[in-house]
Amino acid sequence: MVDYTDLGLVNTKDMFAKAIKGKYAIPGYNFNNMEQLQAIIRASVETESPVILQVSKGARNYANQTLLRYMAQGVVEYARELQKDGKVIPIALHLDHGMDFKICKSCIDMGFSSVMYDGSHHPFEKNIEISKQVVEYAHSQPHYVSVECELGVLAGVEDDVSAEKSHYTKPEEVIEFRNQTGCDSLAISIGTSHGANKFKPEQCTRNEEGILVPPPLRFDILEEIEKKLPGFPIVLHGSSSVPQEYVSIINSHGGALKDAVGIPESQLRKAIQYNVCKINIDSDGRLAMTAIVRKILAEKPSKFDPRKYLGPARDELCKMYAQKNHQVLGSAGHAWD
């Protein structure tokens, strides 16, 4: 058993309470390797933002969960070094889309400070049953581990999580789910979607440049949930904006991203006004790094040192995440709230 406090991590309970009060959202950034992790921490320290480091099942398989634990411990010290005054921004290590009790327990035992149990593929009562089991185990730890659950289904594909169609969260089920499970936050479905192709072209309109414009999010669902559970932390998954400049760079250097479209940043900013206090961003990070790697390898084919293309990709990712913290999530400057 590893206690996350020994790694210098924090859970998300206090983070979310402060975010709701301050009307901003905590970034949930996924990572799989060192370069992504460096970029996330650099951007968060530079913008003085709290941050949630997210690990999917695919990332655990790719990087090894023991190594991930020590990477998380290392970035706490890296953040302290970057800060230079001995303080450390609040950092949580979070399991993204844990699909059963076993994987949630394993992550808690390995030092994760927060886990997500995603039972959205189960019927409502089964989702409650397993969610409650995860919550009871997490909350019984010597140091409280926070739990995110999911109600409703997001369309799209991300690692091992996939669904053909969205099933919007039903506001009338939210109170019962929260009361029966005791979860700390709830991921809901209001029209966001996993992956870089979040919508089919026929679901969208096109602007004057021919770029797809997705349908608006269901703010009526958010508003109804806020009325039923005022002050309760809500999470949005599948919230990458799919910046078209990265899509263009990828496609012009040998890529094949057809009709890639994301969630407009203006809609994410609006959602934050309805108790959305955590926004997950993964695909944008993949796009930013891939765009730079493709560009460098295409323009400088003699390069073979990974540092020569992964380093610039890391720097681009850091720049993008800093922009997200400042202009989209509003989390910049709130590390010391």
Catalytic residue among 3, 14, 85, 96: 96
Question: CA–CA separation, 41 vs 143, rounded Å?
Answer: 24
**Among candidates 41, 43, 93, 42, which has minimal Cα distance to 72?**
93
Question: What six digits make up the tokens of 335?
Answer: 């590390």
Extents of the domains making up the chain: 4-329
Q: How many residues does the chain have?
A: 337
- 96 annotated active-site: yes
- By the 8 A CB rule, do 298 and 234 touch? no
- By the 8 A CB rule, do 120 and 153 touch? yes
Rg of the chain on CA atoms, in Å: 19
- DSSP state for residue 217 in the 8-state scheme: P
pLDDT in tens, the chain (337 residues): 999 999 999 999 999 999 999 999 999 999 999 999 999 999 999 999 999 999 998 999 999 888 888 898 999 999 999 998 888 999 999 999 999 999 999 999 999 999 999 999 899 999 999 999 999 999 999 999 999 999 986 654 445 544 445 578 999 999 999 999 999 999 998 887 666 655 566 776 677 776 677 778 899 999 999 999 999 999 999 888 999 999 999 999 999 998 888 899 999 999 999 999 999 999 999 999 999 999 999 999 999 999 999 999 999 999 999 999 999 999 999 999 9
- By the 8 A CB rule, do 215 and 203 touch? yes
Full 3-state SS string of the chain = CCCHHHHCCCCCHHHHHHHHHHCCCEEEEECCCHHHHHHHHHHHHHCCCCEEEEECHHHHHHHCHHHHHHHHHHHHHHHHHHHCCCCCCCEEEEEEEECCHHHHHHHHHCCCCEEEECCCCCCHHHHHHHHHHHHHHHHCCCCCCEEEEEECECEEEECCEEECCCECCCHHHHHHHHHHHCCCEEEECCCCEECCECCCHHHCEECCCCCEECCCCCHHHHHHHHHHCCCCCEEECCCCCCCHHHHHHHHHCCCCCCCCECCCHHHHHHHHHHCEEEEEECHHHHHHHHHHHHHHHHHCCCCCCHHHHHHHHHHHHHHHHHHHHHHHHCCCCCCCC
- By the 8 A CB rule, do 189 and 166 touch? yes
Question: CA–CA separation, 260 vs 258, rounded Å?
Answer: 6
Q: List the beta strands (DSSP E) in 83-131.
A: 91-98, 114-117
**Among candidates 52, 66, 58, which has minimal Cα distance to 106?**
66
Q: Which amino acid is at 99?
A: M
The CATH T-level fold of domain 4-329 is TIM Barrel (3.20.20)
DSSP-H helix ranges across 152-280: 171-181, 219-228, 244-252, 265-271
Question: CA–CA separation, 335 vs 69, rounded Å?
Answer: 22
Question: What six digits make up the tokens of 98?
Answer: 């844990």
